[in-house]
Amino acid sequence: MIRIKDPKVSIPFYTDVLGMDFVSSHDFSDFTLYFLAYDDSDGKLTGGEKEARRLSREGTYLYPPFMRFSRKPLFDAGILELTHNHGTEALAETPYVSGNVDPKGFGHIAITVPDVEAACARFQKLGVAFQKKLTDGNMKNIAFILDPDGYWIEVLQH
């Protein structure tokens, strides 16, 4: 789970820029939870089926009996939970620390893409901020982009 300042900015970033599907949202009095994921079914799942898979992945992995001691989840695709604390969208600055500045902690999330150069060119065209471009540093096969709240997202080729 990562905290976001404004869902009207963050959700389009994760859906339109990163290509994730909006799975569901759950409203509470002081906050709203948003769930996003990549559709690993090639578009075959309905909204209700996506929600059912979200519930089966949330908090714990489901293992078939023959994989009891395995660490491999039944579903390979992960899910991203965004938490919006109501009222933060009106603040001038993001009220959360990304974990890459003091106090350090959380580092980043990562996505894999079929072609890292093409993905980075697309991100550049869309005006996405980069923490590290492919041409920066010694590791020329990974990039880091920034989401609207300043969280680092590692981009690497699968």
Residue 9's contacts (CB-CB under 8 Å, 6 or more residues apart) are 148
Name the H helices within the chain. Answer: 7-12, 47-57, 116-125
- Catalytically annotated residue among 49, 58, 89, 154: 154
Active site annotation includes 154: yes
Number of other residues whose CB lies within 10 A of the CB of residue 102: 7
Is residue 81 annotated as involved in ligand binding? Answer: yes
Residue numbers belonging to the annotated binding site: 81, 108, 154
Residue numbers belonging to the annotated binding site for Zn(2+): 81, 108, 154
Catalytic residues: 154
